Amino acid sequence: MIPVSKALKIIERETQSLSVERVALEDSIGRILAEDIIADSDLPPFDRSQMDGYAVRAADTKNVPVTLKLVGESAAGRGWRGKLKSGEAVRIMTGASVPAGADSVQKLEVAREKGDTVTLLEPTELGRFIVPKGKEVKRGSVVLRHGEPITASNISIPAAFGYAKVKAAKRPRVAIISTGSEIVEIGKKPGRDQIRNSNSLMLKALCEQAGAIATVYKNIGDDISDLKSQISNAVRKADILITTGGVSVGKYDLTKLALKELGAEIYFERVALKPGKPTVFGRLKKSLVFGLPGNPVSAAVTFYLFVRNSMLLMQRSTCPALSSGDAIALGSFSATKEREAYLPGKLVTDDEARLTVQPLDYHGSSDFVAFAEADALVKVPKNSRIDQGEKASIVFLF
Ligand code: AMP
Ligand code: MG
């Protein structure tokens, strides 16, 4: 049995990055950037008005009301090209460039226009309502780094600096195989002693969240030759194979045996982790193989800790681990004597604005209905316990 930290090191050692391709920016959400995004211009590219109003010289507005001569108009996309002199004003719109000679903008609401003059009712000050050229971003600076994902909140950055295409690592191709003679497909009514396959679609969704392209294969019963033929078929087109079930010590737990008989190299097969002890990691031909436990919560936790990491490393992510933090425990969380625990919890902000984590009322690692409420995992070192009111280390599941 190896600790989680060791397992992660082995995964990191064995994971190779995929090659890079160019992707249309509009199709790039969720992809990991393989290049730095560099500003090709200052932002704003000119002194920009933040208001609809009048560009003036601040010194002219010391004593109000003051009437100034209206000499032109600067609209967004169509600036006024003259040079403003003392005693003059230019009508200006939000997003328009501030003309030379002006050093301030006064807003429309406190001005009265009449013929070719405008009367300002309130003074303004130097630089008011102007964002100077280059104030937000300097040309040539790195505005988004390689190794970071493109998201809804940052896609405007490559868009604004002209990256119609971006370089991104290829998406890992993943094959998902569930195993177990008791498993039936979702559209079927389970017979006696049977349950529906809930793991495969959960894993497919988790893979897609991590940027991979996942294919779900037909469930395989606990039969060594069926397992072997399905596995060898699936790895032909996969960077990663994920199986669920059949990795513990029961008579019909045959996944490991199938992998070994196919010639897979196994790097580890037991992790000091709860849930998720029988997790298998190895390589078969060119594919990395993760043999996850069949219990849905164990499969989810080991995906979050191990598979996700590997997928993000393949995509050259610079932050492959889930983000972590601290929260006050609202109940107790226990590890076992020999295994570190990652236990599901729900995050809540308490009355004093502290982040707290509530243990889920869950019935062990088969309880995927309770697990669906989890938004964090509480990390408990082996042979220890976190009691109510104590600080807990957590990883965020989002
Ligand atoms: P195993 O790891 O094969 O011993 O399975 C452990 C538990 O997980 C058993 O109760 C299985 O019925 C259940 N299980 C295995 N595969 C799946 C699946 N694809 N969907 C839901 N539950 C599963
Ligand atoms: Mg099984």
Residue the block writes with tokens 């590997």: 310
The CATH number that applies at residue 269 is 3.40.980.10
Q: What number is the average pLDDT over the span 328-332?
A: 97
Return the pLDDT at 93. Answer: 98
Q: What number is the average pLDDT over the span 189-207?
A: 98
**d(C-alpha 88, C-alpha 81), whole Å:** 14
| Boundaries of domain holding 120 | 48-131
For the chain, percent of residues with pLDDT exceeding 70: 100
Within a domain: residue 137? Answer: no
Return the pLDDT at 332. Answer: 97
Q: Which residue's alpha carbon is at the smallest distance from atom 23 of ligand 1? A: 294
**d(C-alpha 236, C-alpha 32), whole Å:** 25
First to last CA, the chain: 29
CA of 368 to the centre of ligand 1 (A): 11
**d(C-alpha 32, C-alpha 41), whole Å:** 24
Q: Are strands 273-274 and 355-359 parallel, antiparallel or unpaired?
A: unpaired
The CATH number that applies at residue 53 is 2.170.190.11
Q: Please report the atom of ligand 1 found closest to the CA of residue 182.
A: 12
CA of 184 to the centre of ligand 2 (A): 12
Q: Does one domain contain both 191 and 70?
A: no
Q: Which residues lie closer than 8 Å to 352 by C-beta, 6 or more apart? A: none
Residue 118: pLDDT band by 50, 70, 90 thresholds? very high
Domain termination residue (choose one: 102, 131, 160): 131
Residue 30: pLDDT band by 50, 70, 90 thresholds? very high
Q: What number is the average pLDDT over the span 338-360?
A: 97
Return the pLDDT at 311. Answer: 98
Residues at CB less than 6 angstroms from ligand 1: 178, 180, 182-183, 195, 197-200, 244-248, 250, 253, 293-296, 366
- Please answer whether residues 261 and 224 qualify as being in contact, where contact means their C-beta atoms are separated by less than 8 angstroms: yes
Return the pLDDT at 60. Answer: 98
Domain termination residue (choose one: 285, 314, 343): 314
CA of 180 to the centre of ligand 1 (A): 7
Q: Does one domain contain both 109 and 214?
A: no
Domain termination residue (choose one: 261, 286, 314): 314
Within a domain: residue 272? Answer: yes
- Residue 294's nearest CA partner among 285, 283, 303, 286 is 303
Residue 199: pLDDT band by 50, 70, 90 thresholds? very high
Within a domain: residue 43? Answer: no
**Left (φ > 0), alpha (ψ -120 to 50) or beta: where does 338 sit?**
alpha
Within a domain: residue 138? Answer: no
Q: Does one domain contain both 277 and 328?
A: no
Return the pLDDT at 180. Answer: 98
Q: Does one domain contain both 212 and 241?
A: yes
Q: Does one domain contain both 343 and 388?
A: yes
Within a domain: residue 293? Answer: yes
Within a domain: residue 155? Answer: yes
**d(C-alpha 239, C-alpha 313), whole Å:** 12
Residue 34: pLDDT band by 50, 70, 90 thresholds? very high
Task: Give the three-state DSSP class for 275.
Answer: coil
Q: Which residues lie closer than 8 Å to 373 by C-beta, 6 or more apart? A: 344, 346, 360
Q: And the tokens for 123?
A: 């003074």
The DSSP string of 127-154 is TTTEE-TTSSB-TT-EEE-TTSBP-TTT
Residue 221: pLDDT band by 50, 70, 90 thresholds? very high
The ligand placed nearest to the CA atom of residue 183 is 1
Within a domain: residue 58? Answer: yes
Q: What number is the average pLDDT over the span 317-346?
A: 97
Q: What number is the average pLDDT over the span 223-247?
A: 97
Q: And the tokens for 119?
A: 């009367």
Q: Does one domain contain both 228 and 350?
A: no
Return the pLDDT at 346. Answer: 98
Return the pLDDT at 282. Answer: 98
Return the pLDDT at 189. Answer: 97
Q: What is the DSSP letter of 210?
A: T
- Please answer whether residues 193 and 178 qualify as being in contact, where contact means their C-beta atoms are separated by less than 8 angstroms: no
Q: Does one domain contain both 284 and 194?
A: yes
Q: Which residue's alpha carbon is at the smallest distance from atom 17 of ligand 1? A: 294
Within a domain: residue 319? Answer: no
Q: And the tokens for 352?
A: 């004093």
For the chain, percent of residues with pLDDT exceeding 90: 99
Q: Does one domain contain both 201 and 248?
A: yes
Q: Does one domain contain both 245 and 330?
A: no
Q: Does one domain contain both 300 and 337?
A: no
The CATH number that applies at residue 25 is 3.90.105.10
**d(C-alpha 105, C-alpha 180), whole Å:** 71
Q: Please report the atom of ligand 1 found closest to the CA of residue 295.
A: 8
Q: And the tokens for 203?
A: 């894993």
Radius of gyration of the CA atoms of the chain, in A? 30
Q: Does one domain contain both 11 and 24?
A: no
> If you average pLDDT over every residue of the chain, what do you get?
97
Q: Does one domain contain both 302 and 180?
A: yes
Q: What is the pLDDT of residues 87-113, one digit of tens each?
A: 999 999 999 999 999 999 999 999 999
How many domains are contained in the chain?
4
Q: Please report the atom of ligand 1 found closest to the CA of residue 198.
A: 20
Return the pLDDT at 124. Answer: 98
